[in-house]
Amino acid sequence: MKYLVLVFLGLVGLSHAADRPNILWVTSEDNSPYLGCYGDKLAVTPHLDKLASEGLRYRHAYSNAPVCSTARTTLITGMYPTSLGVQNHRSSVAIPADFKLYPQYLREAGYYCTNNSKTDYNVAGAGNKIWDDSSKKAHYKNRKPGQPFFAIFNFTSSHESQVAPKPGKTEFRIDPKEMQLPPYHPDTMTIRKDWANYYDQITVMDQQVGDVLDELEQAGLAEDTIVFYYGDHGGALPRGKRNIHDSGTRVPFIVRIPKKWQHLAPAQPGEWVNDLVSFVDFPATVFSLCQVPIPSQFRGMPFLGEKKTVRDHVFLYRGRMDERYDTVRAVCDGEFRYVRNFSPHRPCGQHYTYPFDVQPSMGSWYEEFAAGRCNDVQSAYWLPKASEELYEPESDPFEIHNLASDAEQKARLEKMREVLHQDMLSTRDTAFIPEGMYEKLAGEKTLYEFAQSAAYPLERLMDIAEAASSRNPSHVPSYMGALTDKDPLIRYWATTGCLILKDKAAEAKEALKPLLQDESLDVRVVAAEALSYLGEKDAALTTVTEVIRTGNTYESLAALNTLEYLWRAGHITLKQAQEAVQGLTLKEPNNRIPKYLLSLSEK
């Protein structure tokens, strides 16, 4: 019976192709709205400027996450990855079998779906098989006669790997000496050259987009196709990608809707749209445009078509990126951005091996900081974060003035704090589950099913995690009571609260010691780092070294991160850190930290 229904849907799709638009998504990687049509006077982007004149420019469009795999996972699932446990970069986590990915629904409805060509999803088993074709040759031209299509073309010319000038390049469209640097970057010629080269790459990307649009026109399909152009997350240079600020999450987004479908548009061609939109909304919007039922698990709101809905804020998130852990959540209402740092003891600028390898500007910035040549704004990236951040991007476009302690913003801060709290509760956010515990807690179920169940004490966890991230020593007695809780997640966050306070949690020292033998290796690692600030440096090193060598992939990775921070805090020597990782055979991303530590020498 199910087979007959699918055949019927396919026949209906073919017979009514003319009644439904084709959808073309053109994606560029790692770029904020650095386009002429967005008012950037340094940009040369004639093809996208033309597209904007024919379409709609969204002023407040956001990638829910500031890194590629999580951004794509948001898109492909139509859900918040934080509900599914797939928010960590380059992970592979199972989701419920009945949660199909959006190309599967579109194909069942008769659409020919192609992806050219990046997949990069954090969902186990997702990849090429969900598409009619996903490859560097994938193209809508290979569909059946009269069949509507959904097609993606993805360009990497603006990716962070392309920021650095190629060897021998000496000529730039913009003289590096004339570049306008953001206030958070120190003024070095290396950083200036990376910015100048990046703008050259944006122009290369613009030409590639133009070629795709020209091909659509020449095929006679432009009047039957709704075009989306967007960046997959914020800009490629340091403090863009991986950061939850505007520079990491706000993207250029242009939609061109042909005349025959103009009744589905919220404005006239060439106009701005001030509606808030985010990636979780994109699949639901496509389904609205294509007359496909929106699955019940989708969390997005359609912003085009007959089912158009206007949202009042967007929900943003980040977890592990590359080899570094940092749990951050945020909401943005178009006027203000509120950020909650659940790992305020870690800086934004951790040593991510990949950008340090491919972007000279990252290393140049850190060298300036280490040499004491950065001002307070430039130094902030490399220092522990505030527990809460509040910004007004219109008056502070670089988000360098944190208003969280401004008495005049107290009511707004409390309101946005509550909005974020409710978003995390309603979506059953898995933020509070260490990656190393996933399989042990979920068992035979998916992590989503575990997080939706009563076995996940989310309200208690949020209370203790919010207290922990506040850096308030008055919470230490409550942590001490929670250190013996039967739930490893409660113990983990109580221990984290002690770690964040460092020596201010001295009264918890004796209560922390037994956790060096906790049944959860993730708890052991946090307890070890917390105790290293309370005089137990040798015990901390012993515990962390043991977890590095005996834990699962993510327990080991957490321990490797802690090993580096023990060294950075001066609790162990570089030689001790190097001995702890000597001889290890690890795969990415775990091998990056040992390579980094072993490459250093005592100064």
> In this structure, is the dihedral angle defined by the CA atoms of residues 361, 362, 363 and 364, taken in order, positive or negative?
positive
Residues 6+ apart with CB under 8 A from 165: 172, 193, 194, 196, 197
Residues 6+ apart with CB under 8 A from 525: 543, 544, 547, 555, 558, 559, 562
Local structure of 286: helix, strand or coil: helix
> In this structure, is the dihedral angle defined by the CA atoms of residues 511, 516, 519 and 522, taken in order, positive or negative?
positive
| Contact indicator for 32, 66 with CB cutoff of 8 Å | no
Distance CA 523, CA 490 (A): 10
Distance CA 420, CA 188 (A): 38
Q: What does DSSP say about strands 253-256 and 56-62: parallel, antiparallel, or unpaired?
A: antiparallel
Tokens standing for residue 124: 């186990």
C-beta atoms surrounding 299 within 10 Å: 18
Distance CA 448, CA 86 (A): 9
Tokens standing for residue 410: 């107290």
Please provide the size of the chain in residues.
603
| Contact indicator for 250, 62 with CB cutoff of 8 Å | yes
Positions marked active-site: 68
Place of tokens 């990491």: 248
Q: How far is CA 256 from CA 43, 50, 216, 227, 374, in A?
A: 21, 10, 13, 5, 44
Helices 553-568 + 537-550 axis angle, to 10? 150
Tokens standing for residue 353: 């091996």
506 burial level (CB within 10 Å; 0-12, 13-18, 19+): middle
Q: Is 270 left (phi over 0), alpha (psi -120 to 50) or beta?
A: left
| Contact indicator for 509, 476 with CB cutoff of 8 Å | no
Residues 6+ apart with CB under 8 A from 557: 320, 323, 325, 435, 436, 589, 590, 593
Beta bridge partners, 339, equal 330, 389
Tokens standing for residue 44: 């040369």
Side-chain-side CA neighbours of 80 within 13 Å: the count stands at 22
Nearest to 328, CA basis, from 312, 347, 351, 306: 347
